[in-house]
Amino acid sequence: MPILTEPIGSIPRPVELVDGMKAHAAGSIGVDELNVLFDRAIKDTIKRFEATGSPVITDGEQTKPSFATYPINGLALDPGGVVIPFADGHTRQLPTLKAGPFRYQTYASDYLNKAITLTSLPVKQAVITASALSLLYPATGIEGYSNEAFIADVANEHEKDIRYCLAAGAYNVQIDFTEARLSLKLDSSGGLLRSFIALNNEVLNRLSPSERQKVGVHSCPGGDGDSTHSADIPYSELLPLLFGMNATNFYLEYAGEKNKVEVLEVIKDNLRPGQRVFLGVTNVLNPRIESAGEIRDLILEAAGYIPLSQLGTTDDCGFSPFADDLSTSRDIAFEKIRARVEGTRLAEKALEKTQVAI
Ligand SMILES: [Zn+2]
């Protein structure tokens, strides 16, 4: 039985592109010049992705400003939104909305439409959750535009984002839900996580069962500058609620987890029929490239807990969810992806042998 393997999404941007994005933001290069850099980066990323042997690829999110902010890029916003603290002391701060009605400036299908013209391989597309965008409403409110009206707009726009990707021919759509684990840090009662899941499920429930087959959810402790925001929250608190999301595929950070047996037990106890879990087998926060044999062994161990028909592999997270994150090199990212693909094939072969022996 083949074990499915997929990337999460982002690949570190070439240094010339990161410099170009900064120069464009500072007004020293124009949009045409920036587009040349974008084009070059997407083409190079897809070519290198294909060379890893990965059966499913992405555009490496080369033109996304970040996994979370692409829908609001270019929108007039105020500073001073929710602050996300990382373990190494740095922070990222969300902006807040100035006025309604809320509409995406960019749908993820724009990225996909470009990528699928450059490869014959299946392309997956990541989108941001409705719950992350729900955090953009300012605490002081917006005159004439209630929080309820805003949330309804967010849900409708998120639904469009998913549907446009499916219509554009996405192999599948992955909803990046990095605030899931973070929410348990902000509210250990689980109330905030439950409200996030309820909002996201409201949108997922609008999809047909066959559409939901192509929809997954990514959860991780955050990854930025090789640091995390919620790695100290155990999976035993997150997964019982997370698997309540009405999606088929779950892409979980795993290689970076300290107590893997405990994680496997929680997955085994909570994964629902019809759901598939893709375990991260490459640690995106550590520059050491895993060997294919080491990855094979991780998968074989997991196969003792999770039925093969419900098990896949992935990377722990995107390699650069924020465009300016150069903490990992492109070379390391692609080598890790190659190791994931090879390790997954080795595990398949080892499991075939066991099955023949039985
Ligand atoms: Zn992630």
pLDDT score for 357: 63
pLDDT score for 224: 82
Whether residue 7 has a cis bond before it, omega within 30° of 0 = no
337 in Cβ contact with 49 (< 8 Å): yes
Q: What is the dihedral of CA 133, 8, 24, 107, to 10 degrees?
A: -50
Task: Tell me the CA–centroid distance for residue 91 and ligand 1, in Å.
Answer: 16
- For residues 252 and 244, give the distance between their C-alpha atoms in angstroms, rounded to a whole number: 15
Residue 141's CB is within 10 A of a number of other CB atoms, namely: 11
58 in Cβ contact with 108 (< 8 Å): no
pLDDT score for 18: 95
Task: Tell me the CA–centroid distance for residue 169 and ligand 1, in Å.
Answer: 23
Task: Tell me the CA–centroid distance for residue 160 and ligand 1, in Å.
Answer: 22
Task: Tell me the CA–centroid distance for residue 155 and ligand 1, in Å.
Answer: 22
Task: Tell me the CA–centroid distance for residue 56 and ligand 1, in Å.
Answer: 18
pLDDT score for 342: 98
Task: Tell me the CA–centroid distance for residue 14 and ligand 1, in Å.
Answer: 20
Q: Which domains does the chain have, with CATH numbers?
A: 4-12+54-357 (3.20.20.210)
Task: Tell me the CA–centroid distance for residue 27 and ligand 1, in Å.
Answer: 31
Task: Tell me the CA–centroid distance for residue 67 and ligand 1, in Å.
Answer: 9
Task: Tell me the CA–centroid distance for residue 224 and ligand 1, in Å.
Answer: 9
pLDDT score for 353: 85
- Per DSSP bridges, beta strands 91-93 and 83-85 are antiparallel
Task: Tell me the CA–centroid distance for residue 284 and ligand 1, in Å.
Answer: 9
The burial class, CB within 10 Å (0-12 / 13-18 / 19+), for 305 is middle
Sole residue written with tokens 């050491």 = 288
Task: Tell me the CA–centroid distance for residue 9 and ligand 1, in Å.
Answer: 9
Task: Tell me the CA–centroid distance for residue 286 and ligand 1, in Å.
Answer: 14
Residues of the chain with pLDDT under 50: none
> Encoding tokens for residue 122?
């299946």
- For residues 164 and 111, give the distance between their C-alpha atoms in angstroms, rounded to a whole number: 11
SS (H, E, C) the chain: CCCEECCCCCCCCCHHHHHHHHHHHCCCCCHHHHHHHHHHHHHHHHHHHHHCCCCCECCCCCCCCECCCHHHCCCCEECCCCEEECCCCCEEECCEECCCCCCCCCCCHHHHHHHCCCCCCCECEEEECHHHHHHHCCCCCECCECHHHHHHHHHHHHHHHHHHHHHCCCCCEEEECCHHHHHHHHCCCCHHHHHHHHHHHHHHCCCCHHHHCCEEEEECCCCECCECCCCCCCHHHHHHHHCCCCCCEEEECCCCCCCHHHHHHHHHHHCCCCCEEEEECCCCCCCCCCCHHHHHHHHHHHHCCCCHHHEEEECCCCCCCECCCCCCCHHHHHHHHHHHHHHHHHHHHHHHHHHHHC
- For residues 317 and 134, give the distance between their C-alpha atoms in angstroms, rounded to a whole number: 22
What are the tens digits of pLDDT across the range 129-157?
999 999 999 999 999 999 999 999 999 99
- For residues 168 and 175, give the distance between their C-alpha atoms in angstroms, rounded to a whole number: 16
Task: Tell me the CA–centroid distance for residue 337 and ligand 1, in Å.
Answer: 15
Triad 196, 197, 203: Cα angle to 5°: 100
Type of residue found at 63: T
147 in Cβ contact with 137 (< 8 Å): yes
What are the tens digits of pLDDT across the range 299-344?
999 999 999 999 999 999 999 988 888 888 999 999 999 999 999 9
Task: Tell me the CA–centroid distance for residue 8 and ligand 1, in Å.
Answer: 7
Task: Tell me the CA–centroid distance for residue 241 and ligand 1, in Å.
Answer: 18
- For residues 165 and 176, give the distance between their C-alpha atoms in angstroms, rounded to a whole number: 14
Sign of CA dihedral 187, 191, 192, 196: positive
Task: Tell me the CA–centroid distance for residue 252 and ligand 1, in Å.
Answer: 8
pLDDT score for 358: 56
Task: Tell me the CA–centroid distance for residue 209 and ligand 1, in Å.
Answer: 25
Task: Tell me the CA–centroid distance for residue 218 and ligand 1, in Å.
Answer: 6
